[in-house]
Amino acid sequence: MLFRRLSSMFVIAMLPLAVAAQATRDTAQVTPVVLHAARLLDVDSGTLTAPGEVLVRGERIIAVGNKVEHPDDARVIDLGDTTLLPGLVDAHVHLFLHPGGEAEQTFNESVAERTIRATLAARDDLLAGFTAERDMGTEGAGAADTAVRDAIDRGAIPGPRLRISGNAIDIVGGHEDAIGYNPEQRMLPNATQATGAVELVAAMRAQYKLGADFTKIYETGKDRIANGEFSSPYQFSAGELEAAVQEGARSGKRIAVHATAEPGTGYAARAGVASIDHAYQLNPDTMKIMRERGIFAVPTFAVLEYFIAHAATTQAAERYRAIEAYHLAQFKLQLAAHVPIALGSDVGPFPHGTQAREFVLLVRNGMAPLAAIQAGTINGARLLGWENDIGRLKAGYYADVVAVAGDPLQDIDALQHVRFVMKGGTVYRQ
């Protein structure tokens, strides 16, 4: 019954948006578009151009400036008292998760049902201004994210540009294993399990065969904190992570790790991963390596805030608060050490389409507004391997454009209230 309700909801929700987007896309192939707004933000320099205009033809930006050419056949979209900026990039999302019972979703919901939910999540994220995302594991739904990414790329459903990993990879008894349940029931883990470098590489190759763009590895867990001391055991050895990075390089793929504590974070940095996600604890040597090699930390504050607010018990809330306080103190050290930061919200355990909250928390926790915006545009694009196509309003780049009321450099909260969304020249929200 739930599946039928979800199916009906999917059809009702997606058809009008898909038809409208297709009509806009068809028109965009022949009609240039001029976007006009009170301001335009150059995310590299922080310079505001007033007014600002973007000329779009097809999928790409043709010109950007105070005033661009207005071809005779151009469609002009006047966005009024808003600021134009590049489409937002979330480098850590879970399209196949929704709030409540992460472990239980794996065995309570079919992969078909979870895929329907994922398509709705992708739509919600796009409408919130996130035109590109990195999906960090389907949490037990295998390679279903391949179908979602490919449907978006075909224009069959609305959603962000996606980099996908399929299932993440874990060890037996690791962070995403089904621990704490009746062992006789043989509960499935929420990740693909591998023991040793040979199995790890084999798992990566199998996922690449099914369409994965990169590999996500669980390197630490479960997290513990007591008396202000934080720890999390590592899962894969330094040598195993090196083997994973070498295999990724052979295949032209990148490695992202869920890693919260030393020595796991250090192992990952020395192995040469692309990002260390969550990154609660990085020692000075690890931070130095990350700065020198351009390895991104992805802090994920928004999910911790949500877990605190929705904890099942007082004790659980206190534990999350202690972790959050530790993470914040460490984050300030990372900023001082100039560790590269990419925005990632870990959305999924909290509602999709609300993850621009991460911008607000980055600023609240010590980043300048421009640096936070860069984390969610330029840096995200670089981490996803699309730095020459997205993340800036620049001629030749994809026409991924959002507009927000006011000036986000003065009020970062404006990014939580996106008024206009264009992706690849197609208008999805106006």
Cα 274 to Cα 128, 349, 359, distances in angstroms: 26, 24, 21
What pLDDT was estimated at residue 228? 87
281 and 171 within one domain? yes
Q: Based on the structure, what is the number of domains in the chain?
A: 2
Strand order from edge to edge, sheet including 39-41 = 48-49, 39-41, 82-86, 401-405, 418-423, 426-429
413 and 292 within one domain? no
- Here the tokens at position 418 are 């996106």
117 and 80 within one domain? no
What pLDDT was estimated at residue 4? 46
DSSP string, 374-408: HHTTHHHHHHTT-TTTSSS--TTSB--EEEEES-T
What letter does residue 188 receive in the DSSP assignment? P
167 and 30 within one domain? no
119 and 23 within one domain? no
- Here the tokens at position 255 are 């490695």
Widest Cα–Cα separation across the chain: 71
Residue range(s) defining the domain that contains residue 136? 88-383
Give the burial class of 6: count Cβ atoms within 10 A of its Cβ; 0-12 exposed, 13-18 middle, 19 or more buried: middle
242 and 191 within one domain? yes
CATH number of the structural domain spanning residue 249: 3.20.20.140
**What does the alpha-carbon distance between residue 377 and residue 93 come to, in Å, rounded to a whole number?**
15
What pLDDT was estimated at residue 185? 66
8 A C-beta contact, residue 277 and residue 300: yes
CATH number of the structural domain spanning residue 56: 2.30.40.10
Per-residue pLDDT for the chain (430 aa), expressed as one digit of tens each? 444 444 444 444 555 565 455 545 554 456 999 999 999 999 999 999 999 999 999 999 999 999 999 999 999 999 999 999 999 999 999 999 999 877 778 778 999 999 999 999 999 999 999 999 999 999 989 999 999 999 999 999 999 999 999 999 999 866 666 666 666 666 677 788 999 999 999 999 999 999 999 999 999 999 999 988 999 999 999 999 999 999 999 999 999 999 999 999 999 999 999 999 999 999 999 999 999 999 999 999 999 999 999 999 999 999 999 999 999 999 999 999 999 999 999 999 999 999 999 999 999 999 999 999 999 999 999 999 999 999 999 999 999 999 999 999 999 999 999 999 999 999 999 9
353 and 268 within one domain? yes
36 and 21 within one domain? yes
The secondary structure element, H or E, covering residue 204 is helix 196-209
| Angle at which helices 111-127 and 144-154 cross, to 10° | 40
201 and 349 within one domain? yes
Give the burial class of 371: count Cβ atoms within 10 A of its Cβ; 0-12 exposed, 13-18 middle, 19 or more buried: middle
pTM for this prediction: 0.92
94 and 83 within one domain? no
Strand order from edge to edge, sheet including 275-278 = 192-193, 169-170, 214-218, 254-259, 275-278, 296-298
What pLDDT was estimated at residue 102? 75
132 and 61 within one domain? no
What pLDDT was estimated at residue 107? 79
Nearest to 324 by CA among 235, 411, 223: 223
275 and 167 within one domain? yes
